Structures are given as structure tokens and as C-alpha cells.
């Protein structure tokens, strides 16, 4: 009987604990939503007060993007660029928003503008390569990934992406060379690339 009472009391304590936990979880979610709305409203008020402040629109766009509101983010970035056409950071943000929205064709010109501004920037070339890859323009992606590597030889993600492009275009020997290199640098990427080599090789390259 005592054991049954003990189990019953334990059950009551656990039930009370989980109810409290769920209440706290709900409150934290509600507060997060309120914080999101409050920050956006605050930034909106700033641009309303200063309608010619390009960086204000840039910051508003970033907040929208942080919450995956890409349509509003894109509009804010476009407004920032209209005010200050040379605002490089807005080009980057706009291209990224289109990319995250999976509108790769719209992302392309902005990613190309970024590279023209800083042609030796490895990350910019890598991002441009990613857009080409999504558009299935693998030869163009190869050029961009190679430029990224030229300026940062140890850029392992660029090597990996380059190898995947080689697989897509039937250059299996080149992909295998990169796979061998990655095995001593990044086992995770090497294993992932091995999967591509097993499953993505075009029929005409398997012979």
C-alpha cells in the first residue's frame, strides 16, 4: 500500500512539473513572437522617421530575413539600394534573400554584382558558384568555385562543391582526386562526396 501511495505521489509531482514546463514553454514562445514583432516595429518606425536612411532599410530587411519573411526583406533591401546604389552590403543581403527564397534566377545578378566589386573574395565567388549550381549551370559553377579556391586553397567546402560539379559533368577522375584530398582534410565532406560518387555519376561516365 505504501508503495502505491509513493508511486501515486510521484505521478502527481511529475504531472505538476510537466504542466509547469508546458506553461513556461508556451510563455517563452509567446514572448519570442512579441519580441519579433516589437523589433520589426521599432525598425519600421526608424525608417518612417528617416525615409532616406539606406542603412535603416538594410537593418529592417535583415530583421525580416532573420524571421524568414523574405518578401518584406527583399522590398527593404531594394529600397536601401534605391537610396544608396553603392551599398555593397545590401547587394549581398538581397542576393542571399532571393537565394533563401529559392528564386535563384533573381539572386544571380546580385551575386554577380558582389563579385565584380571584390573579384578576389573567395566567399563571394563561392556564393556565386552556389547560385550557378542551383540553376544547373555546372560549368559556370566550376569557374566560380575554382576562383574561390585560387584565393583560399584550403577552402574545403569549395573543393567539395567543385567535385560535385565534376560528377555532374562526368569528370569523375577529377572528382576522385578531390575525394582523396578531402579524406585527409575533412572526413564528413569526404564521406558525403563518396555518396555522390556512388549515386550521381552520369550513365555515360560509368564506362
Does the reported pTM lie above 0.95? Answer: no
pLDDT value of position 131: 98
State how far the Cα of 108 lies from the Cα of 111, in Å rounded to an integer: 5
Domain locations in the chain? Answer: 31-116
Instruction: Give the residues of the chain that fall short of pLDDT 50.
Output: 2, 4-5, 7, 21, 23, 27, 30-31, 33
pLDDT value of position 201: 73
pLDDT value of position 23: 46
pLDDT value of position 199: 87
pLDDT value of position 1: 53
pLDDT value of position 204: 57
pLDDT value of position 37: 79
4 sits in which H/E element: helix 2-49
Look at the domain 31-116 and name its fold.
1.25.40
If you search the block for the grid coordinates 539600394, which residue do you land on?
A: 81
What do you get for the CA distance between the two ends of the chain, in Å?
76
State how far the Cα of 146 lies from the Cα of 138, in Å rounded to an integer: 12
pLDDT value of position 30: 45
pLDDT value of position 58: 97
Amino acid at each position: 500500500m505504501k508503495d502505491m501511495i509513493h508511486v501515486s505521489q510521484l505521478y502527481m509531482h511529475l504531472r505538476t512539473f510537466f504542466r509547469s514546463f508546458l506553461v513556461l514553454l508556451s510563455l517563452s514562445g509567446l514572448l519570442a513572437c512579441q519580441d519579433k514583432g516589437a523589433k520589426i516595429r521599432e525598425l519600421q518606425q526608424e525608417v518612417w522617421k528617416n525615409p532616406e536612411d539606406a542603412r535603416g532599410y538594410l537593418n529592417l530587411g535583415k530583421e525580416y530575413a532573420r524571421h524568414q519573411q523574405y518578401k518584406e526583406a527583399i522590398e527593404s533591401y531594394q529600397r536601401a539600394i534605391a537610396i544608396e546604389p553603392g551599398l555593397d552590403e545590401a547587394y549581398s543581403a538581397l542576393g542571399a534573400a532571393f537565394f533563401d527564397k529559392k528564386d535563384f534566377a533573381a539572386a544571380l545578378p546580385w551575386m554577380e554584382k558582389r563579385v565584380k566589386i571584390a573579384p578576389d573574395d573567395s566567399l563571394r565567388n563561392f556564393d556565386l558558384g552556389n547560385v550557378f549550381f542551383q540553376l544547373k549551370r555546372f560549368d559556370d559553377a566550376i569557374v566560380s568555385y575554382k576562383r574561390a579556391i585560387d584565393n583560399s586553397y584550403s577552402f574545403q567546402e569549395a573543393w567539395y562543391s567543385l567535385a560535385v560539379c565534376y560528377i555532374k559533368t562526368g569528370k569523375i577522375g577529377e572528382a576522385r582526386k578531390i575525394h582523396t584530398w578531402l579524406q585527409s582534410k575533412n572526413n564528413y565532406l569526404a564521406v558525403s562526396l563518396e555518396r555522390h560518387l556512388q549515386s550521381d555519376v552520369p550513365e555515360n561516365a560509368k564506362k
